[in-house]
Every structure is written in C-alpha cells, then in structure tokens.
Structure 1
Amino acid sequence: MSEHSTYTPSTGIERWLDERLPIIRFSKEHLMDFPTPKNLNYWWTFGAILAFMLVAQIITGVILAMHYTPNVDLAFNSVEHIRRDVNGGRIIQGAHAVGASMFFFAVYVHIFRGLYFGSYKAPREVLWMLGVIIFVLMMATAFMGYVLPWGQMSFWGATVITNIFSAIPIVGDAIMQLLRGGFAVDNPTLNRFFSLHYLLPFIIAAVVVLHIWALHVPGNNNPAGVEVKEKRDTLPFHPYYTMKDLYAVVVFLIPFAWFVFFAPDILNHPDNYIMANSQVTPTHIVPEWYLLPFYTMLRAIDFNVLFIDSKLGGVIVMAGSMLILFVLPWLDRSPVRSGNFRPMFKWFYALFVLNFLLLMYLGAQDPSIAIMNVLAKIATAYYFIYFLIILPVLARIETPRPLPVSISQSVLGKAH
C-alpha cells in the first residue's frame, strides 16, 4: 500500500479486497489520479485509441480462429465460409481486416507525434524503445495475418518475405526453412504463421503493459516539451483525459465503421480474392499499405556494394530502417524536445513525413519503371540521412526559440 494514498475503501467488500489484492487502490492511484500535464492535445489521444484497437483485434481474432482452418486446401474456403455462413461473420472478419489498417494508421500517427515532440528523449528512452518493439511485433503479426486467407498475394507475399532471410550469411537458409517448415511455402508454413499470428498479439499486450509502466515512471511528455514543475501544471487523468480519450475513440470509430459496413475490401489487393496457386505468379507482388515503406527500401537496393550483394543489402537496409529507431534518443542530442520551438527542425521533419508517404506510394508501383526506381533510392537515402546526419547536426547548429518557464505559462500565455 502507498503511504500517501488518498484511497479509502467505502464498502466492506472493498476493504476485504483491498487487504488481499489492492487492485482498486492501484487503479485509483496509478490510473485515475495519475497527474497528467494539462496541455495535452488530441495527438496524445492515439495512445488510448491504440489500446482500444489492440483489444478489438484480439477479440475479433479469437472469434475468427474458432472458424478458420489452417490447411492449404481449406484455408481460402474457410475464410469464405466465415464471410458467408457464420452468423455475423462478415462483420467480424471485416472488422478484423479493416482493424489492422486502422491500427497501423493510429500507430503511425502515434510514432510521428513522438518524433515531432521529442518523446524519445531522456528520461523516456526505455518508453520509446518499448514502443519500437511493439511496432516491430505489430508488423510481424500483420504480415503473418496477411498470409492466412491463402489468396495469391498471401502465398506469394510469404514466398518473397521468407526468401529474403536466405540472404543472411551462414544461417540464412536454416532460418528460411525453419519459418517455412520445409523448402517451400506450404502447409507447415501456414500452420506456423497461424500459430504465431495467434500468439503475438498477447505478447504485444504484455509489452504494452511495460510501455504504460515505463510511461508512468517519468510521466507524459507534452507539447511544450518542459517537465512538470508544480502541481498546477497537471490534472488527474480521470475524468479529464478519460473523457477526452473516449471522445477521440468515438470519432475514430466513425471512419472505422464506415469501412467495415460499406467498403470492407477496399484496402485489400484484388489478387488476394483468388485462391493461392504456386504455378501462377502475380504481375506485381504488393504487401499491405502499412508495410509498403519498408518494402520500398528492400527493393531500392538493387546493386552490389563490395562483398555485399543486392539481396543482402536490401535486407540490411530494411532491418536498419527499424533498428535505427532504437538508437534515436542518442542521435538527436538537442536539449529542446518539442518541435514547436525548433524552427529549422520543423522543415526537415515535414520533409521526412512527405518522404515517408512517398516511400509508401512507391512500394505499390512497378519497380521496373526507371523513375520509380530512382525515386525509391532517393527516398530511402533521405530516410537514413534524416536520422544519421540531419538530427545530430541540427542539435549543434540550431538556435531554438525560448522555452516557457512551465506548462502553466505555455497554456495561459503568462505566469500568474
């Protein structure tokens, strides 16, 4: 029990539970009464949106697993069975498929908010690194889920992505065969991906708990980027931010519901509604939109560098594009967190966001078109230049605007 607790059990049952498992006391002290900066805007509500989406994906996924058959001869038809014959199956399957896209949209907003407001800087490095781990686990989960319908894109996407592991020296072939369960994508591959797709969301949920724990140690960052200095800088999380988050979740559910009810298939590739056929290769193998930026980087490296061939080079660049996020807190040494007070940083950050969207667009284009190939190389180069050169240099040469003395000053405009 906390020495400074303000929680007092009001009923006999609460007192009995509080002496044995103080879960209500814990939620009161660490969730409801958690002191939160008073100037958080709606960009900060995406954390709650992501928590909601994770729960929604787990619930719909468990229900779908009850009707899905992980067998190469039956998987495609079992998905059609869910959509056509299971009560509510069309809505549940649509909510799960659309939910993956909405989940990634929210996580990209969450990440880019963190990049702009410097949420990765001390003392929040571990919080940021846990977030990157969640992001990588999400991509692995989403990719394995994309394979399960066993359409053309599912099969050939699994073939291409598992094949890139063979580029790793010495152990590459062994890893590829372990993932596939053999020498080619077949029934063992589907079984492995189904098992991992079911397991990984629960691992994500566990890391999310650590992520929230790591958030509660230093507290929230805020748009001003200054630490809490006095009690009047904060508000209790409940009811102020619970209501704000709830409102944001409801607004977020409006486009989510529109997609589920009116256009559940609009984000999927048409070829994935054709049963997988190992004898017919699609014209262009395209992953889901949220994986496209990293797929572009993988394809952009089509040249050899010294002893590194193009295939291994692509794998290194794609892996590096995610691993570089882990060391970001030590690349950006600027003492100012918030981009609001960094005039030069704003322009490079805006270019970085546009560059990322360009990478996403290029991933869906034909790489044999020369201009697309050149743009992919330029966009990939800027992605790494931003982290490895621009941010470290800006920390040395940029003159930031004066910071407010406190959060209250940034909210009220002057100290009172």
Structure 2
Amino acid sequence: MSDKHSSYSPKTGIERWFDARLPLPRLVHDSFIVYPVPRNLNYAYTFGGILTVMLVSQILTGIVLAMHYAPDTGLAFNSVEKIMRDVNSGWLLRSLHANGASFFFIAAYIHICRGLYYGSYKAPRELLWLLGCTNLLLMMAIAFMGYVLPWGQMSFWGATVITNFFTAIPLAGDWFQRLLLGGFAVGNPTLNRFFALHYLLPFVLAGVVTLHVWALHVVGQNNPAGIDVKSKTDVVDFTPYATVKDAFGIIVFLFFFAYFVFYLPNYLGHPDNNTIANPLKTPAHIVPEWYFLPFYAILRAITFNVGPIDSKLGGVLAMFGSIAVLFAVPWLDRSKVRSAVYRPRYRVFFWLFVANGLFLGWLGSRPAEGTYVVLSQLATLYYFAFFLIALPVLGFIEKPRRLPNSITEAVLETNRGAGAKRRSPGRRPKVERR
C-alpha cells in the first residue's frame, strides 16, 4: 500500500507553487484522506487517534502549567495551590493535565491489549510494535517525574522509595541514583531535574509517535482478521470511513474524560498528595499512581534470593523485565496466524492475562504482607508465563480455525452470521386449544 502513486492534484496556482516546494498538502492528502485502510476495522482501532488527542492535550496544558509552576521545594506545593485558586481557569488546566495522565494510560493499555489480541506485532510490523513499546517507556518516565512535581507527601516518598531501588543495581546503581537525585536524598536538585525532564520528554515522545505513525503508513494497518490486503475491495479510503469512526470513538472517550475532570477531579489521585511533603513523616502505605500498580506489585513480589541475586535486585529486575519482555513479543509468538479471532486457545490465555493484569493492579494497592505477597507472586508468575511459555508453545500446538481467503470474505461471513442470528426464529408460544 505504501507504493501507491499519489492522487493529489493541485487545483490553484498557489497550491501548485506550494506543492513544488513543500508538498505538505500532498502528504496530508495521501496519509489521511485517500490512504487505504482495511474495511473491517472496529472501534478497538480508534485508540491510536485517542492517544494522539490525549498527547496533544497533555503537551498544551503542560506548557501553560509550566508558566505558573515553581520548581523549588519551598514553593512547589504552594505554586500548585495558586494555580488552582488564583490563575484564570487554572483549576481546569490542572484537572485536565492530572486526569489526562490517567486517561492517557487507559488508552495506551487498551491499545496494547488490542495489539496483543489481533497480532499487530507480527511481520512486517515488528518495528511498529517496538516503537510503540518505546512510547510506553517514555510515558512511564514522564508520568513518574510529573508525579513528583506537586511536592505532596506521596510525591516525595514515592520518589524516595522508587529511586532507592536503583541502588540494587551492581556497580552503577549508587552513581545513577545520585545522578538522578542530584545528591544523596530527594531535594531541590531532584525537583529541578524532574521538572526539566518532565517538560522535555513529551516532545521526545511526540517525535517517537511520529515515527510510529510513519512506520504504520509504510507497512499498512493490521485488521481484526489478521489477513493481508489482497485487492482493492479489501480497503476503503481513510476519509470519511475511518475518520468518522475515529471521531466517534474520540468523542465517547472524551465524554468519560470530561466526567472525571468536572465531577471527580481528585478521584484517581492519592489523598496524601494534598498534604505538603514532610521528610520527617512517612505515610502509612506508600503507593505510586494507579497506572503503575501492576508493576509495583511485581516489584514487591520478589521477596526471596536467587543465588547471588538478592530480593531487592530481583524485584528491580522483575519490574523492568515485565516491560522489557514486551519488546520480545514479535519473536516469542511463533504462530503463523495473527488474530486471536481464529486462535481459540490463545484467546483463553489472553483474557486470563488481562484479568491477571487487573489483579496485579489491585494487589499493588494492598500492603506487602501476608496473603497479598503470595498472590502477587502467583500473578507475577502468570504474567511472565504468558509471554515466555504460552506464546511460544501455543504457536506449535494450537490448531487455529480456518482463515477467510480475504478481508472482504471475512466481512461477508461476519455480516452473514449476524444476519442469521437476527433471522433465527425464537421459540413460539404454545397456543392452548379448546
């Protein structure tokens, strides 16, 4: 699809002059208007557009908030309060930015799950998947540093606990921690470093997202059937077919986002963060933001030593390994069938994986004691078993269902099945004869 000749035709002299020197209108026309997409895309594929909207929202609100924020331990907390109370529409900007981070991760996790379900990481889309995983890493780094900026109790102690885990890394751990903190403890240099990186990295993320979209347009969009495009009947123009669907998905998503912004602005945050940071008072339970809780549960699940690797280093390796294993997914899955629609056994393991991820998130919010530790270890075991055992083994032993010959055939089969269900007569009521 990337080899298709451009159909853009400038109509005015100004358009012809501009197109000969900087063909930006041609790029937009070929990439977002006549670009061919599979005709069977569903609403799970709208989350790419949703993520783009959320990224733009986060960058714009973040730029304005940075104009009023003071990256100083003596001023940071009060500057956030001033934004909320004295800056025109400051409460709205802060609510959009704070809740936007949560909804950004909601969309990202759904986007990743969609990719895992429909096999969007398989050839020739390996690089597309790797760029997506890089985006996830950048999002996590940006969110972690942003969580420290309000300088509340959970901000301070969360940064203290998480950065302390870097000391478990042999040789370079202590040096890296001091580099990150700007000293031996979380303080003013730490806040300045985190503010600078939190402001800079979103633009790096925007650059990687651009590469991600570029790679998508080179190899073409995957589809729910996981079948390659074979004819012109398999595709439709991006506009209006995909744009209308994306617009509807974005509007619905923004509706839920707006509900939290206006009616539950603090629901997804931690109450302790409404109290200024106090190095002399430790909170009862130190937890990160909810979107980090699954990885936090994996970090705390390793309570035992493995040879020369102590539990602290083991937890750090498990936490980073839970993200690093995503980069290996294209080579771990050996099945020749992309979509889980035609892989009945894989579907079972996939939905168990989703449920396990939600369970890990809940366990991350619980105290690291008693039964919670054992459950975290079991959930962590399944998390890695899904990638390292289930994906490779199912590729050899699973017998997939018959694949349609084309995307058009898959659409017709779906429509035929839906029509048959609508036409199937129900059980007729018995008529009593007299």
Give, as a single letter, the amino acid of the residue that structure 1 aligns with 2:97.
H
Q: How does 1:110-259 map to 2 (within 5 A)?
A: 110-259=111-260
Per-residue displacement from partner, 1:200-222 (whole Å, max 9, x unpaired)?
11000000000011111110110
Does 2:95 align with 1:94?
yes
Secondary structure of residue in 1 paired with 2:37: strand
Q: What is the percent sequence identity of the aligned residues?
A: 61
CA distance in 2, matches of 1:166, 1:156: 16
Kindly provide the CA deviation profile for residues 315-368 of structure 1, in whole angstroms up to 9, marking residues without a partner as x.
100111000010110000100000010011111111111100000000000112
Q: Which residue of 2 aligns with 1:360?
A: 361
Other-structure match for 2:42: 41
**Take 2:252 and 2:87, find their aligned partners in 1: how far apart are those partners?**
29
Q: Which amino acid aligns with 2:393?
A: V
Q: Distance in 2 between matches of 1:255 and 1:61?
A: 21
The 1:414–1:261 alpha-carbon spacing in structure 2 relative to 1, beyond 3 Å, is closer
Q: Give the aligned partner of residue 387 of structure 1.
A: 387
Equivalent residues in 2 for 1:306-385 (5 A)? 306-368=307-369, 370-385=370-385
Shift of 1:16: 1.1
Q: Give the secondary structure class of the aligned counterpart of 1:226.
A: coil
3-state SS in 1 of match to 2:293: helix
- Counterpart AA for 2:287: V
CA 1:27 to 1:359, structure 2 compared with 1: closer, same or farther past 3 Å?
same
Q: Which residue of 1 aligns with 2:411?
A: 411
Question: Residues 307, 414 of structure 1: CA spacing in aligned structure 2 closer, same or farther, 3 A cutoff?
Answer: closer
The one-character-per-residue Cα deviations of 1:39-93 (angstroms, maximum 9, x if unpaired) are 0000000000000000000000000000000000000000000000000000000
Task: Name the residue aligned to 1:32.
Answer: 33
- Equivalent position amino acid for 2:18 in 1: L
Deviation at residue 302 of structure 1 after TM alignment: 1.3
State the shift of 1:103 in Å.
Answer: 0.4
What pairs with 1:274-293 in structure 2 (closer than 5 Å)?
274-293=275-294
Offset of 1:252 from its aligned partner?
0.7
Structure 2: distance between partners of 1:389 and 1:256: 37
**2-structure distance, mates of 1:98, 1:4:** 43
Distance apart, 1:248 and its partner CA: 0.8
Greater Rg, structure 1 or structure 2?
2
Deviation at 1:146, TM superposition (A): 0.4
Measured in 1, the distance between the counterparts of 2:85 and 2:305 equals: 49
Secondary structure at 2:327's aligned position in 1? coil
- Distance across 2 between alignment mates of 1:341 and 1:330: 20
Letter in 1 for 2:8: Y
Q: Which amino acid aligns with 2:256?
A: P
Map 1:76-95 to 2 at 5 A: 76-95=77-96
Provide the residue aligned with 2:55 in structure 1.
54
- AA partner of residue 50 (structure 1): L
Post-superposition Cα deviations, 1:258-316, rounded to whole Å, max 9, x if no partner, equal 11111100111000001000000001001001000001100111111110011100010
Q: Distance in 1 between matches of 2:368 and 2:326?
A: 26
Residue 305 of structure 1: aligned partner: 306
Query: Gapped runs of 5+ residues in structure 2?
Result: 416-434
Amino acid at match of 1:172: G
When normalised by structure 2's length, the TM-score is 0.94
Indicate the SS of the match to 1:69.
coil
In structure 1, C-alpha distance between the alignment counterparts of 2:59 and 2:287, rounded to whole Å: 25
Secondary structure at 1:217 match in 2: helix
Secondary structure, counterpart of 1:222 in structure 2: coil
Question: In the alignment, what sits opposite 1:106?
Answer: 107
Displacement of 1:136 after TM fit?
0.6
| Residue 396 of structure 1: aligned partner | 396
| CA distance in 2: counterparts of 1:375 and 1:162, whole angstroms | 25
SS at match of 2:385: helix
User: Which whole-Å deviations, capped at 9, do the CAs of 1:358-404 have from their partners, x for residues lacking one?
Assistant: 00000000112x11110000000100011001111111110000000
Instruction: Please state how far the C-alpha of 1:4 moved relative to its aligned partner.
Output: 2.8
The count of aligned residue pairs is 414
| Residues 53 and 112 of structure 1: CA distance in aligned 2, closer, same or farther (over 3 Å) | same
For the residue of structure 1 that corresponds to 2:236, the secondary structure is strand
CA distance in 1, matches of 2:185, 2:119: 44
Match of 1:75 in 2: 76
Range with bigger deviation, 240-249 or 127-136: 240-249
Amino acid at match of 1:410: A
Structure 1 residues not aligned, in runs of 5+: none
TM-score, normalisation: structure 1 = 0.98
- Tell me whether 43-52 or 237-246 shows the greater mean CA deviation: 237-246
- Separation in structure 2 between the aligned mates of residue 333 and residue 187 of structure 1, nearest angstrom: 50
C-alpha spacing 1:3/1:311, structure 2 compared with 1 (3 Å): closer
Take 2:40 and 2:6, find their aligned partners in 1: how far apart are those partners?
A: 25
Q: Kindly state the Cα deviation for residue 30 of structure 1 after the two structures are TM-superposed.
A: 2.3
Residue aligned with 2:326, SS = coil
In structure 1, what is the Cα distance between the partners aligned to 2:230 and 2:101? 39
